[in-house]
Amino acid sequence: MTQTLDRDAFFIGGTWRAPATAETLQVVSPHTEEVVATVPAGSPADVDAAVAAARQAFDTGPWPRMSPQERIEVVQAFSGLYAARLAEMADLISLEMGSPTSFSNLAQAPAPWMMVEAFLGIAREFPWEETRPGALGADVIVRREPVGVVAAIPPWNVPQFTTMSKVVPALLAGCTVVVKPAPETPLDAYLMAELLAEAGVPDGVVNFVAAGREVGEHLVAHPGVDKVAFTGSTAAGRKIASVCGEQLKRVSLELGGKSAAIVLDDADLGATMEGLKFIGLMNSGQACVAQTRILASRRNYAAVVDALAETVSSMAVGDPMDPATEVGPMVAQRQQERVEKYIALGQEEGARVVVGGNGRPDGLDRGWYVRPTVFADVDNRMRIAREEIFGPVLSVIPFDDVDDAVRIANDSDYGLAGTVWTGDQEAGLDVARRVRAGTYGVNTYTMDFAAPFGGHKASGIGREFGPEGLAHYTELKSIYPTTPGM
C-alpha cells in the first residue's frame, strides 16, 4: 500500500461528505508508534447527518421495500467485491491495530467474508413471511419486517468481523445503518464503504462516521435510531443498555469474557497446547473469546504448567507484518499499560510468573509490546482470574475433580466461551452442557456462522450469526386476513 491512507470525508448519504469540524483522528502504528494516517473525527453534527440520511433511506427509500431476493442480490455483489480485496483488508487491519498478519489473513479479513456468505444462505431460507393455522380457525400471516435504523458500533480488536456481523444481517433484513468505527481502526471501514457503494447499495442505506466515545453516546441516544448493535466492553455495554432501556430501543450487546479452558487428565497434552496457544493468545490476547483461565487438575497441574510455559515461551513476538509473528503489540499505549498493571497485580496477589512478566520483549525497543505471560498458583478469586485483561496473559488454576472444574468455570461474571480438552468425547460433551457459556468447544474452539454466537451473564444480550442473528434485525407482525364478503 504505497498510496496515502489519509482521508478527509465521511461516507454519508451515498457520497463522501466533508466533516462538520476540523477535528481529526491520528491512526498510529502500534509497532512503530508512528502516525500512518489521518482521518476526520466525527462530531455530533456528523452523526446527525448520518442518522438523517439513514432515516430518509428507511422511511422513503427503496431498500426496505425491496423483496428479500433483491436485497440478497446486492449483498451477493458486495461479497464478490469483498473477496477480491481480502489481502488489502488484512494488511489495513494489521497496520492500524497491530494484529499479526497470520491472524489477519486467517480471521480479520477472510472470516468476515465467510460470514457474508453464511448470512446469504440463511437469508435465502429465512421465513420472511409465513402463513400458519390460527387457534381461532382462520389462517394468520406472520411477517418479519426490518427493525429500522441501526446504530452499529464495533470495537477496534476485530473491526471488520464485528462490523460485518451487524451490517450484513441488517442489510438483508431491509434496515439502514449508521456505523461508528472505533477511532483506533477507521481505515478498514473506508474500504468497506467503497465496496458497499460499488455493489449498488442505495444512497443512505449504510453510513460511516469514525468517532470517539462521546460521539458514540450521542449516536446511541439519538431519537432517529431504532436499534443499537454494540460489541465492546461490559462497562460500555451497561451504559448503552441503560439508554436503550429508557427509550425502549432495541439493543444487542456482545461484551467481554473471562472464559475457561478445562484440561482433563486424559487430554492429549501436545494437541491441547496447540489449541490453547490459539484460543488463549489469538490476536495477541485481544479477543473477547480468549480463554485465559486454564483449569488443570491438581494431579496433572505441574505437567500442564510446564507444557504451557514451553509453548508460550516459544511463540514469536514482534512486527505484526512478519508472517512468522504469533504475538504482536497491543493496540495502544494505554492498553500496554493496562496489561502491565495486571501483570504486576497478579504478582501482588500471590500468583507465580512462570513465563514473561513485566518489561519489553527482547529486541523490541519501540512499539506497544508486552511479554506473553503465564501465571501459575492462581486462585479463581484473584482479580487476574476474574477481570478481562485483554492481553497475552494466561492464568493456570487448579481443580480437584470434574465437578470442581465446572464450578470454577461457572464462577465468573462472564459466560461467553469455553473449551474442554479430553480423550473422552462423551465426557467432554457432558462438561460442555454444564458450563454456562454461549459457545463451547470439545478439543477445539470455533465460531460457526450458521449457529448463534453470544454470551450469558455480563457477556451480553442477544445473539449474532445464524438465523437468530438475522432475526435480531426484524420485528414481527401478525396479519389476520378475512375471507372476501365476510
Nine-digit cell at 329? 503489540
Is 73 marked active-site? no
* Three-state DSSP state, 238: helix
d(CA 127, CA 123): 8
**Under 8 Å between Cβ of 50 and 34:** no
* 136: Cα within 13 Å, side-chain hemisphere: 5
- Catalytic residue, chosen from 175, 184, 244, 254, is 254
The three-point CA angle 10-15-19 to 5° equals: 30
Rounded to 5 degrees, φ, ψ at 237 are -60, -40
Q: Identify the burial level of 299 via C-beta atoms within 10 angstroms of its C-beta, where 0-12 means exposed, 13-18 middle and 19 or more buried.
A: exposed
* Three-state DSSP state, 394: strand
Nine-digit cell at 150? 441501526
Nine-digit cell at 244? 436503550
Residues paired with residue 129 on neighbouring β-strands, in sequence order: 143
* 441: Cα within 13 Å, side-chain hemisphere: 21
**Under 8 Å between Cβ of 95 and 317:** no
d(CA 274, CA 280): 10
Is 70 marked active-site? no
d(CA 168, CA 111): 13
Nearest CA to 287 out of 126, 151, 424, 453 is that of 453
d(CA 116, CA 106): 16
d(CA 206, CA 74): 13
Q: Identify the burial level of 3 via C-beta atoms within 10 angstroms of its C-beta, where 0-12 means exposed, 13-18 middle and 19 or more buried.
A: exposed
- Catalytic residue, chosen from 288, 340, 388, 464, is 288
The helix (run of H) or strand (run of E) holding residue 24 is strand 24-28
* In 34-177, alpha helices (H): 44-59, 68-83, 86-97, 101-103, 110-125, 159-173
Nearest CA to 438 out of 168, 257, 287, 305 is that of 257
Q: Identify the burial level of 60 via C-beta atoms within 10 angstroms of its C-beta, where 0-12 means exposed, 13-18 middle and 19 or more buried.
A: exposed
d(CA 179, CA 181): 6
d(CA 388, CA 213): 20
Q: Which residues are catalytic?
A: 254, 288
